[in-house]
Amino acid sequence: MEELSVGIIIIGDEILKGQVVDMNSSFLCKEFYSLGIKVGKISMISDSIHDIASEVKILSKRFTYVITTGGVGLTHDDVTYEGVARAFNDRLILNDKMVRYYKDYCGGVVSDIETNPQLRIAFVPKMSEIIFLSTKNDDAFKSWGKFPVVKVSNVIILPGVPQLTKLCFKEITKLFFRNNSTKFYNKVLYLKCDEVNVVHALNNAVKKFKDLVVFGSYPVMNNPIFQTKLTMEATDEEQVKNSEEFLKSLLPPDDLVDPIIVNAADDIYKLIESPDKKNDIFTATLQTSVKIVEDALTKYPKESLFINFNGGKDCTVLLHLVTAVWQHLFKTLPSIHAVYFRNSDPFPEIESFIQESVKRYKLSLTITPGPIKTALSTLLAQHSEWKAGFMGTRKTDPFSENLIYFQVTDESWPKMMRINPLLEWNYSDVWKFLSTFNIPYCCLYDQGYTSLGSKDNTKPNPLLAYKNSDGITCYYPAYKLNDGKSEREGRC
């Protein structure tokens, strides 16, 4: 199958003058890349028939397809059709299909452009193919039913309005670009060090994977989370994975920042601030939790806070949530202390996951044996600055139905403020959060465990059991549990 290539021409005086920001080229490049097609060139030119004709003539010979945006309206400076016609030594004609489509807009069936200047948009190159695209999937244009896009040879002429460009492109993708055989695989490394510190390692990787993997290095200014971004790209998934591992082996582990951490704040705040999600129950619940964490981080000095982290699903959500809000408020990686109250017989998988999380979130972790009340007393005596702790408690947990978001410990307990951002969450909310933000969790949850205690009191949830083809009992992963009220069925 022929490997597709694409050139893009952005047309508009207003863009060249800086009066309008070009959004179409960025959108088109991302879309083509996701389809396994690299854009070979982007040209940004004026509303000039000569410039359009010249650029179209060059790019149409070089690429499989050329996409133009802009210059297809009703006014004097909309000259894209004429420029494209000249590129192919063609002429403009009043196209019958276009006339029939625009007749309502033009106020009736007419053929005289002098008395009906709106009809100017129906003058297209004689050799044009008119492609009518459905607009039913976009609320803004649903009433139109369809919209005409002109194709001349290998040149597809799109409107310049970004929302309409996006709609048209999604439709023409089904016609011309869906069956492309190429797929790009990517890996990204984020580093806390300056670009100059990785040059030697990067050069070694480039040499080892020459002609197999494309590497990129990008310095990042004024970012407290990372200072350098390294990218790896290949059409072979195994090669790009190998290149990532090789490059990581040459870099100091402490300089690597996990991608999940890099995007934590942006991903969560983008979701809760999205107009499309304003009536979504999960988003509203998350928004409330974010507000609780924000209040805690602004009310208490940073050094007075700690977070309870035992490696369970709720604490994993809590840790990521606090990390995201901390980044959003302070523009830095969190420096909060974590405490693991270890039970007498912990799962080795939990222990391993906790250590992975320490590395991922750059935690300062204190491990202390239970029982929790005694251990907490000792810790607070050792750390007099600790005044409040983040807890992953939900109201569905035993003896927690009456808790509030900020709650002082009971009289019989060491005095401190318990901060409970997840109180109103249910079982499905926890798994939706973990899956939405692609957050790693303890592998035991993929083995049928739905609530984790110690080895001597925790089994896989029997409600997730099934027999495989050999008659052996297996378990579905925890997120498959339909009834969240049964999450503790495996606990003794």
Give the closest residue to 437 by CA, choosing from 277, 265, 284: 265
Alpha carbon distance 234, 214 (integer Å): 6
Question: What's 11's DSSP letter?
Answer: E
Task: Give residue limits of the domains in the chain.
Answer: 6-176, 185-257, 264-428, 442-486
Identify any residues that bridge with 367 across adjacent strands, giving them in sequence order.
Answer: 340
Structural contact between residues 302 and 390, judged by C-beta atoms closer than 8 angstroms: no
Give the closest residue to 10 by CA, choosing from 82, 68, 54, 80: 68
pTM over 0.85: no
For residue 1, what pLDDT is reported? Answer: 47
For residue 161, what pLDDT is reported? Answer: 93
For residue 112, what pLDDT is reported? Answer: 55
Q: β-strands 185-191, 228-234: how paired?
A: antiparallel
Pair of tokens at residue 174: 């089904």
Splitting the chain (492 residues) into consecutive groups of 10 residues, what average pLDDT does each group show?
85 94 95 93 96 97 96 86 97 89 61 60 93 86 87 96 93 86 92 94 96 95 91 95 96 91 94 86 96 97 95 97 96 90 94 95 92 93 95 93 95 95 97 96 97 94 95 96 93 84
Kindly report the CA angle at 427 between 423 and 429, in degrees rounded to 5? 75
Alpha carbon distance 469, 466 (integer Å): 10
Pair of tokens at residue 464: 């997730």
Residues 6+ apart with CB under 8 A from 385: 301, 303, 304
**What is the homologous superfamily of the domain 6-176 according to CATH?**
MoaB/Mog-like domain (3.40.980.10)
Alpha carbon distance 434, 348 (integer Å): 22
Amino acid (1-letter code) at residue 410? D
Fold type of domain 264-428:
Rossmann fold (3.40.50)
Structural contact between residues 380 and 388, judged by C-beta atoms closer than 8 angstroms: no
Alpha carbon distance 173, 147 (integer Å): 15
Strand, coil or helix: 292: helix
For residue 215, what pLDDT is reported? Answer: 96
For residue 100, what pLDDT is reported? Answer: 82
Tell me the per-residue pLDDT of 170-225, one tens digit each, with 9 for 90 and over.
Answer: 889 988 987 777 889 999 999 999 999 999 999 999 999 999 999 999 999 988 88
Give the closest residue to 422 by CA, choosing from 275, 312, 339, 258: 312
Structural contact between residues 169 and 158, judged by C-beta atoms closer than 8 angstroms: yes
Q: What are phi and psi of 93, to 5 degrees?
A: -135, 160
For residue 2, what pLDDT is reported? Answer: 61
For residue 193, what pLDDT is reported? Answer: 93
Describe the strand order of the beta sheet including 155-158 as a list of residue ranges: 39-45, 6-11, 65-69, 155-158, 146-152, 129-134
**Phi-psi domain of 268 (left: phi exceeds 0; alpha: psi -120 through 50; beta: other):** alpha
Strand, coil or helix: 390: strand
Alpha carbon distance 434, 171 (integer Å): 33
Pair of tokens at residue 213: 């993997």
| Correct CATH for 185-257 of 3.30.70.2860, 3.40.50.720, 3.40.50.2300, 3.90.950.20 | 3.30.70.2860
Give the closest residue to 293 by CA, choosing from 262, 257, 334: 334
Alpha carbon distance 320, 326 (integer Å): 10
Give alpha helix (H) positions in 342-440. Answer: 348-361, 372-382, 427-436
Structural contact between residues 423 and 393, judged by C-beta atoms closer than 8 angstroms: yes
Q: What are phi and psi of 327, to 5 degrees?
A: -60, -45
C-alpha distances in Å from residue 78, one per residue of 12, 37, 150, 221: 9, 29, 14, 40
